[in-house]
Structure 1
Amino acid sequence: MRRFLNTLSGRFLLVTLAFVLLAEALILAPSIARYRETYLNLRLEKAQIASLALLASDDEITADLEAELLANAGVFNVVLRRDEVRQLVLSSPIPLPVEQTYDLRFSGPLGSVHDAMMDLLQPQSRVIRVIGEPVQAGGSLIEVTLETGPMRREMLEYGARVLLVSAAFSALTALLLFFAVWRLLLRPIRRVVAHMTAYAEAPEDARRVIAPTASVRELREAEDALQMMQTQLIGALRQKERLAQLGGAVAKISHDLRNILTTAQLFADRLGGSADPAVARAAPKLVGSIRRAISLCESTLTFGRAEEPPPQLARLPLRPLIEEVAEAESLGGAGPVACLIDVAPGMVIRADGEQLYRVLGNLVRNARQAIEATGQPGTIELSAGEGEEEWWIKVGDTGPGLPPKAREHLFTAFQGGTRKGGSGLGLAISAELVRGHGGRLDLLRTDAEGTEFIIRLPKGGGLLEAM
């Protein structure tokens, strides 16, 4: 029983019963008050009939008949006012002093309830005086004295009957209301809970997604929201599984590729001593590229275990790094894509050179590929500057702009690809690397005239807040 009362169904049943009983209690008090008023009016009517019998006999009746009339009326004496004359019509000995007088002519609803409750709370019988108006214009006032004991007993009996009948109807009403609410609300809620429990046991099983069937609007909205959440979660879990498998494969490839590049680095080091001047000039750049490839493989292996390693911050001349990125992307020649660099030669920032190279390389590569996809010549512009709290680097192009689908999940892996067949990993990794510096990578604009990204790096140790 206690377990049932701790459920939503049990609590609702208790609350329903409590409010129904409260309503019955509020109804019971006025009902008893009306019964008391009816009882007193009946005593007045009987007393008036008894006094009329006396008046019809020219005030000549025996003492026994007078006592019988008073007993039949349930009063001790009767006072009648007629023609402005107050007359004691019937009388008998009063066993107790008169304690209180009630004038029914001026009794309101609240006063009647109060007087009825006071009579019920008085277990001892009292003598009271009751004043009212005679019926059928039988005078201007009638007054009787009577004992409260019989009236209180009848009030208790009436209240018990009303309470018993009310309790029966209240219980029936509460049960009907409970079953109606259980069918309309509680049962659908249990169905939703059962679906959630079943789905939690196998969240990858699409067959366990809830099918909305509720007819109540609020419950239908809850079922629709649950269905959407379960569908999205299934997709996320499947993507997570694919990413985990892909991560394992990439880690294996990176491990073997790192070994291959290490060997290539050994041979590239020997090219620095070549007698050919062109080979000697290209050898350091080749070594640098291989070194970055090895670093990328090592970072990929680290990412497979946890996440990107923290940046190794150091003072870094920015223009040479940007020129190296442009040259690595073949933007230094007379190709269809021109590169403009607007960076002060002496500008120095505080960053991890390898990670910033990867970020700029991804942005420049995306810009070059976007322009080349149009078949028209274009321009990539790299500029930089600084304020009181941050350094900023802008990468803009004159390409066709980003497609709407790419803008929705621009920095989300496998969802924010900017070109057909792209995975979106470049921008996702770039954003993560910039966040590791405490900065932000934002899209400034994208339209038919081109796209522009901005990298913000803080000068202090705090994080930059989102705009």
Structure 2
Amino acid sequence: MFFNTLSGRFLLLTSAFVLLAEAMILLPTVANDRRDYILSRLERAQIASLALLTSDTMIEPELEAELLSNAGVFNVVLRRDDLRQLVLSSPLPGAVRATYDMRQPTDFELVRDAVTQLADRSNSVIRVIGAPVRAGGQQIEITMETAPLRASMIDTGLRVLALSAVFSLSTALLLFLSVRGLLLTPIKRLVRHMTSYAEAPEDARRIIAPQARAVELREAEEALASMQTQLTASLRQKERLAQLGQAVAKISHDLRNILTTAQLFADRMEESRDPAVKRAAPKLVASISRAVNLCETTLTFGRAEEPPPSLSRFMLAGLVAEVIEGETLSAEAVGVDFVTDIAPNFVIRADREQLYRVLSNLMRNARQAIEATGKPGTVEIGAGEEETGWWVRVGDTGPGLPERAKEHLFQPFQGGTRKGGTGLGLAISAELVRGHGGWLELVRSDSGGTEFMLHLPRELALERTLG
């Protein structure tokens, strides 16, 4: 229905407000018509009485009645030279019901008397007092009936209402056409663009091009264009990630088979009597086992998400030593030192393999940040216990994170901390920590270095989170 639309409601409201404005001036208009009607009767009565006073002879009753009829009154009383004289008279049809003084009435009195007159449907007799025109005396009084007066007021009111209706409809139509061209048409264009974009959000050609001239509408179009641009880029990124995920899953599947074979050969190396081989074989087996496990979890991730952590209690210092040992091989040439502040008997409850991956990602990022400067640096690892759980801190003396990395921290393919980096390490680490019911946060990052801290809840807190 038309009046359920914004255009219809605007047209209806405009017409109603214009009619209301016209109705507010209706009463003053009717009051002025009443005043002019009475003043015209006073003027006619004065002319008739003065014509009679200029004659020295008596007039016939028929002529007197004709003069009163033409003036539209019953009696005329003229006061001149402080003398009050009944100049013209005829029988009254009834008693005088009210007296009105029209010499200096206020606007409020005129409106009040007009409303009273309209409300009274009876044809009564009233007395009116006025000031003679052109110094024709000191005061003039007439008696008249109210029916013709009320009829004149009603006729004037109806004409004003009819004229108001024409004005209101014309004004409403002009305003409707103006607003439709300035506001409603651009809004409909905006809606059409939104509908078209929703059909194929990945199509960049459907992104709206701001064209509105009005500042507010142009801001809305620019905001919509920005949102559509970001959404289209995000959808394309997700599509690429989905394709990449499928490729990684396939590669991980084949790589797992290859690593399984390598693991069999590594197991046989443990039987070697060479001391150097015996020392290296367990580390090689552990590394291959972690690689196999990573391939399996990657396949799981490609289907849904990281598997839930397998919790156990272990000493954190031993795990940190394993991570440092792997990173030290790459850091010896450039002088990256690893410093730990963890008690040897400090026990933590978590998934050991997942925590290894988290710490490995954080330490590798720290080492690479220092290596990128070409200067020696230090990576510090600390841990402690708090009331709600445990915390592990990884800090470095590198140059700090780039601004873009801070803005998109923990977002894959956007939060890379170095040139060529993908940002997957931080994203995976944050997801693994969240799987434990904890969180990973950036404590600081400036010219003095970067510091991350991960928080792991205690057993009871973790059980409540998972349950």
Instruction: Using structure 2 for the length normalisation, give the TM-score.
Output: 0.93
**Compared CA separation, residues 312 and 130, structure 1 to 2 (3 A):** farther
Per the alignment, residue 282 of structure 2 pairs with 284
Please show how residues 31-430 of structure 1 align to structure 2 within 5 Å. 31-58=29-56, 60-105=58-103, 107-330=105-328, 334-335=332-333, 336-430=335-429
Asked if structure 2 preserves the Cα contact closer than 8 Å seen for 1:81 and 1:139, the reply is yes
| Rounded Cα–Cα distance in structure 1 between residues aligned with 2:212 and 2:332 | 67
Matched letter for residue 78 of structure 1: V
> Secondary structure of 1:401's match?
coil
> Secondary structure of 2:461's match?
coil
> Secondary structure of 1:451's match?
strand
User: What is the CA-CA distance between 1:334 and the residue it aligns to?
Assistant: 5.0
> Secondary structure of 1:461's match?
helix
> Secondary structure of 2:270's match?
helix
> Secondary structure of 1:273's match?
coil
Asked if structure 1 preserves the Cα contact closer than 8 Å seen for 2:331 and 2:367, the reply is no
**Compared CA separation, residues 133 and 295, structure 1 to 2 (3 A):** farther
User: What is the CA-CA distance between 1:384 and the residue it aligns to?
Assistant: 1.2
**Compared CA separation, residues 159 and 454, structure 1 to 2 (3 A):** same
Matched letter for residue 277 of structure 1: P
Asked if structure 2 preserves the Cα contact closer than 8 Å seen for 1:331 and 1:338, the reply is no
Matched letter for residue 236 of structure 1: S
User: What is the CA-CA distance between 1:402 and the residue it aligns to?
Assistant: 1.7
**Compared CA separation, residues 129 and 309, structure 1 to 2 (3 A):** farther
State whether structure 2 residue 458 is matched by structure 1 residue 461. Answer: no
**Compared CA separation, residues 438 and 106, structure 1 to 2 (3 A):** farther
**Compared CA separation, residues 423 and 62, structure 1 to 2 (3 A):** same
The range that moved more, 309-318 or 228-237, is: 309-318
Asked if structure 2 preserves the Cα contact closer than 8 Å seen for 1:403 and 1:418, the reply is yes
Asked if structure 1 preserves the Cα contact closer than 8 Å seen for 2:410 and 2:427, the reply is yes
| Rounded Cα–Cα distance in structure 1 between residues aligned with 2:32 and 2:436 | 83
User: What is the CA-CA distance between 1:59 and the residue it aligns to?
Assistant: 7.6
Asked if structure 2 preserves the Cα contact closer than 8 Å seen for 1:332 and 1:339, the reply is no
Instruction: Using structure 1 for the length normalisation, give the TM-score.
Output: 0.93
Runs of 4+ in 1 over 4 A off after TM superposition: 331-335
Matched letter for residue 341 of structure 1: T
**Compared CA separation, residues 108 and 309, structure 1 to 2 (3 A):** farther
Per the alignment, residue 450 of structure 2 pairs with 451
User: What is the CA-CA distance between 1:15 and the residue it aligns to?
Assistant: 1.0
Q: Deviations over 1:415-454 (max 9, x none)?
A: 1111111111111111121222222212222222322111
The range that moved more, 27-36 or 310-319, is: 310-319
User: What is the CA-CA distance between 1:341 and the residue it aligns to?
Assistant: 0.7
| Rounded Cα–Cα distance in structure 2 between residues aligned with 1:461 and 1:103 | 91
User: What is the CA-CA distance between 1:238 and the residue it aligns to?
Assistant: 0.8
Matched letter for residue 381 of structure 2: L
| Rounded Cα–Cα distance in structure 2 between residues aligned with 1:60 and 1:135 | 25
| Rounded Cα–Cα distance in structure 2 between residues aligned with 1:146 and 1:170 | 37
| Rounded Cα–Cα distance in structure 1 between residues aligned with 2:297 and 2:26 | 81
Q: Deviations over 1:325-351 (max 9, x none)?
A: 111212698542111011111212222
Q: Deviations over 1:280-319 (max 9, x none)?
A: 3333332222222222222211211122222233323211
> Secondary structure of 2:328's match?
coil
State whether structure 2 residue 445 is matched by structure 1 residue 442. Answer: no
| Rounded Cα–Cα distance in structure 2 between residues aligned with 1:96 and 1:418 | 105
User: What is the CA-CA distance between 1:105 and the residue it aligns to?
Assistant: 3.6
RMSD: 2.2
| Rounded Cα–Cα distance in structure 2 between residues aligned with 1:332 and 1:227 | 47
The range that moved more, 32-41 or 389-398, is: 389-398
| Rounded Cα–Cα distance in structure 2 between residues aligned with 1:378 and 1:254 | 35
Matched letter for residue 82 of structure 1: R
Q: Deviations over 1:216-256 (max 9, x none)?
A: 11011111111111111111111111111001111111111
Asked if structure 1 preserves the Cα contact closer than 8 Å seen for 2:42 and 2:140, the reply is yes
| Rounded Cα–Cα distance in structure 1 between residues aligned with 2:176 and 2:64 | 59
The range that moved more, 216-225 or 393-402, is: 393-402
| Rounded Cα–Cα distance in structure 2 between residues aligned with 1:313 and 1:148 | 102
User: What is the CA-CA distance between 1:68 and the residue it aligns to?
Assistant: 1.5
Matched letter for residue 447 of structure 1: D
| Rounded Cα–Cα distance in structure 2 between residues aligned with 1:413 and 1:239 | 10
- Could you list the runs of 5+ residues in structure 1 that have no partner in the other structure? none
| Rounded Cα–Cα distance in structure 2 between residues aligned with 1:273 and 1:117 | 118
**Compared CA separation, residues 332 and 163, structure 1 to 2 (3 A):** closer
| Rounded Cα–Cα distance in structure 2 between residues aligned with 1:243 and 1:375 | 33
User: What is the CA-CA distance between 1:140 and the residue it aligns to?
Assistant: 3.4
User: What is the CA-CA distance between 1:133 and the residue it aligns to?
Assistant: 2.3
- Could you list the runs of 5+ residues in structure 2 that have no partner in the other structure? none
**Compared CA separation, residues 246 and 52, structure 1 to 2 (3 A):** same
Q: Deviations over 1:109-131 (max 9, x none)?
A: 23322322332233332222222
Matched letter for residue 128 of structure 1: I
The range that moved more, 133-142 or 201-210, is: 133-142
Asked if structure 1 preserves the Cα contact closer than 8 Å seen for 2:436 and 2:462, the reply is no
Matched letter for residue 211 of structure 1: A
User: What is the CA-CA distance between 1:259 and the residue it aligns to?
Assistant: 2.0
